[in-house]
Amino acid sequence: MRNVVVVGGGIVGLAVAWELSQRGQDVTVLEKENRWAAHQTGHNSNVVHAGLYYKPGSFKARMSVAGNRSIVDFARQYGVPVRVCGKLVVATREAELPALETLSERAEANGVPAKRISPAEAREYEPEVSCVAALRVESTGIIDFPAVCTTLVRLLDEADADLRLRTPVLGIRAGRAGGVEVATGTDVLRADALVNCAGLQADRVAELAGLTPSARIVPFRGEYYELKSERRNLVRGLVYPVPDPALPFLGVHLTRMLDGSVHAGPNAVLALRREGYRWADVSMKDLADVARFPGSWRLARKYVYPTGLEEVLRSFSKKRFAASLARLVPAVTEDDLVRHGSGVRAQALRPDGSLVDDFLIESTRDQVHVLNAPSPAATSALEIAKHVADRVSA
């Protein structure tokens, strides 16, 4: 039996640990926080993505389509709340129709069940929606991802995995006789292999291990509002805009959650700290890392105006946020919204300023590093786990 250390206790790290344990590996999971799923997974939109948006043949396309099935099957097997409700992607003006058609073609290429529908048909699903055409995506769902993690922790505990909270990784080096040695605040663990699923800290953990990652993590905060309880009837399911192909994010959308609440968002602004969920969360070290990285400045030149400025203005203006939502559902007003919370996306950025648009997994001897796993990583977690476990076994 081999011993594998997994760094990171979010959904990807826990899924990898569970997959390895099922393959007969002795697994130790190290999480620096005092709870599991503390960051990206715990601040997730809880959407089970269909695989609609991603380049055919990419990791994201293949793993999201397969993950859509496997995560729903997992939830139903273990009693995790899940609902496959479908969603609408709506074109609100004629200029968006070519992009909607491209999405339809991509859905077909990826094997995603989706169909083009008329405005009248769209209103059968969402009576308050405004559009000139829409795409109905049947396999999109809503799930409780933190509950998935709770279940994975239980399964790992039953499999006698070594699960350690409050255990930051301080150093990693190759073992003298092979394998790796991992220093924590209390001891040094010796293992046959290491898997880095540290999310917002993934590039730093890779550097601790002596790897020069091909991309750096730049944190983007997404802020959410919620419809007031008396206005939840405006949205029955999930309503998304047609994404601008020139921009890296999907745009604000409306999502009915498992408890009946309706979340609105997110926008996308640079977080001032790797784990910064408010404007007041500032880390000079994290900001210095962003400033020293040449890719940051190249990205800024491309997006800071007008896109980045508009996102920042929307962060401070509920009126602007409401106006973006009203493009999709005109009945939504500023008075309907209350602040809900935010999440931080670990987005990998290359030195040339390009955003890594696929999952990025790099390997060295006895090590596998998951360096870019933003959305749809939660949907794809069980599939990413199989891929990583194959690499560990290779």
DSSP string, 5-66: EEE--SHHHHHHHHHHHHTT-EEEEE-SSSSTT-STGGG---EE--S-SSPTTSHHHHHHHH
> What per-residue confidence (pLDDT) applies to 248?
63
pLDDT tens, the chain, 394 aa long: 689 999 999 999 999 999 999 999 999 999 999 999 999 999 989 999 999 999 999 999 999 999 999 999 999 999 999 999 999 999 999 999 999 999 999 999 999 999 999 999 999 999 999 999 999 999 999 999 999 999 999 999 999 999 999 999 999 998 887 899 999 989 999 999 999 999 999 999 999 999 999 999 999 999 999 999 999 999 999 999 998 766 667 789 999 999 999 999 999 999 999 999 999 999 999 999 999 999 999 988 888 777 788 889 899 999 999 999 999 999 999 999 999 999 999 999 999 999 999 999 999 999 999 999 999 999 999 999 999 999 998 7
CA gap 324, 151 in Å, rounded: 37
CA gap 281, 266 in Å, rounded: 18
Nearest to 18 by CA among 128, 214, 159: 159
The arrangement of strands across the sheet holding 188-191 comes to 169-174, 180-184, 188-191
Contact at 8 Å (CB) between 197 and 6?
A: yes
CA gap 114, 136 in Å, rounded: 5
Q: Which amino acid belongs to residue 223? A: E
Half-sphere exposure of 371 (CA within 13 A, CB side): 26
Contact at 8 Å (CB) between 367 and 208?
A: no
What are the residues whose beta carbons fall under 8 Å from the beta carbon of 81, sequence distance 6 or more? 75, 143, 144, 147, 258
C-alpha 217 chain-centroid distance: 13
Nearest to 125 by CA among 140, 110, 112, 111: 140
> What per-residue confidence (pLDDT) applies to 285?
96
pTM, full prediction: 0.96
Q: Which domains does the chain have, with CATH numbers?
A: 1-83+141-215+357-393 (3.50.50.60), 87-138 (no CATH), 216-355 (3.30.9)
